[in-house]
Amino acid sequence: MSVSTTFPVQETHDESGANLTGYNRIVLLTDGYSTPFHAKTAISVLRYRSDDVVAVFETSGVGETAEALFGIGGSIPVVASLEEVDADAVFLGTAVSGGRLPEQWKPLILKALLRGVDVVSGNHQFLIDDPDFRNAAESSGARLIDIRRNRQNATSTGMPFREDCLRVHTVGQDCSLGKMVVSFEVQRELQRRGEDAHFIATGQTGIMISGEGIPVDCIVSDFVNGSVEALVRRNEGHDILLIEGQGSIAHPSFSAVTMGLLHGCAPQGLIYCYEVGRTSVKGLDHVPLVSHQKMIETYLANASLRCPSTLIGIALNGRNVSREEGEAERRRMESEFGLPTCDVYRDGAAPLADAVIKLRGELRS
């Protein structure tokens, strides 16, 4: 999938040869957008790849630490100049509305490229399309890596997956609830127990962390199902796959990718994710959220059109409530739905990992 050019620009990470996990001196660029709403990519990279991050670039926070800025990342410094650090890559750490590149970032990106530093972007606006970036990369030998740029063109075959490959998929009441984190935490907990569990990334942040995956929200609609199916099939040698969810089946803007994922990965188990206290759809404050009961019923009905599927657990995100309020909510949901419920951010993923193992036993009996 490499671009036919004379300079080292890469279209995607995994199929073009760019090794995202090979970077170990990363600067996270969040300048002007260092909030939990915008900087979720940076926050997740800090959570799972902090050893590979040397700095966060945010001019308003110079002299602070990542921990002070985001509540995670420890003593990683916040800087306002690339000259202050020895970097091998700049990762664009935001998910700005519309996926566009903030105009004020262009001089910094050019400076990084001219210094020979690779730039990795998960935005919908591709770096490679900017002639100034291409010229800078050509002159220095740096690489432009657009994670969302792809030529996926597979349609679904509908063929069954390997019988002993258990597929568990996170789904949500809305966007930006932590579906990726839940998938990753369950996978890590299962690995700690000696299980052959593998995380399947379907969005830019998961790809930046794991180094592989597909950007389902930037694939032609006819090919979402097939591309997901092909990704799962490439990894079905593992015993358990934790497949990252995207969007929401009830989101007026993003339901298409959610349905494509459901049918592409054909999950036997679903984990339902939601944020405590959220009442309206992200980005559409005039649209109320659909009830948990109706959402769960809808997910199960649609997932089971291809493969019998069951809900095995619930993951709540209590970031906007106290620990006591979160625990009360956990008990309420567990009582209402009769399923293991937890907040992986606060308490870890052990109950959900238990649910995965239980599902495997039930399917084998």
Task: Give the per-residue pLDDT at 17.
Answer: 46
Task: Compute CA distances 29 → 54, 78, 169, whole Å.
Answer: 11, 10, 30
With 80 as the cut, is the pLDDT of residue 7 above it?
no
275 burial level (CB within 10 Å; 0-12, 13-18, 19+): buried
Task: Give the per-residue pLDDT at 99.
Answer: 67
With 80 as the cut, is the pLDDT of residue 49 above it?
yes
Query: Residue 277 is inside which H or E element, if any?
Result: none
301-316 tens-digit pLDDT: 999 999 999 999 999 9
Query: Residue 78 is inside which H or E element, if any?
Result: strand 78-79
With 70 as the cut, is the pLDDT of residue 97 above it?
no
Report the candidate in 302, 152, 301, 150 with the shortest Cα–Cα distance to residue 222: 152
Percent of the chain with pLDDT over 70: 94
What is the reported pTM?
0.91
Name the band, by pLDDT with cuts 50, 70 and 90, for residue 35: confident
More confident residue, 298 or 176: 298
Mean pLDDT of the chain: 92
With 80 as the cut, is the pLDDT of residue 98 above it?
no
With 80 as the cut, is the pLDDT of residue 216 above it?
yes
φ/ψ (deg, to 5) at 193: -90, 5
Task: Give the per-residue pLDDT at 36.
Answer: 82
160-185 tens-digit pLDDT: 999 999 999 999 999 999 999 999 99
Pairing assessment for the beta strands 284-288 and 280-281 based on DSSP bridges: antiparallel
What mean pLDDT do residues 2-7 have? 29
Strand partners, 317: 275
Query: Residue 192 is inside which H or E element, if any?
Result: helix 179-192
Sheet holding 197-200, edge to edge: 197-200, 240-243, 166-172, 269-275, 310-317, 341-342
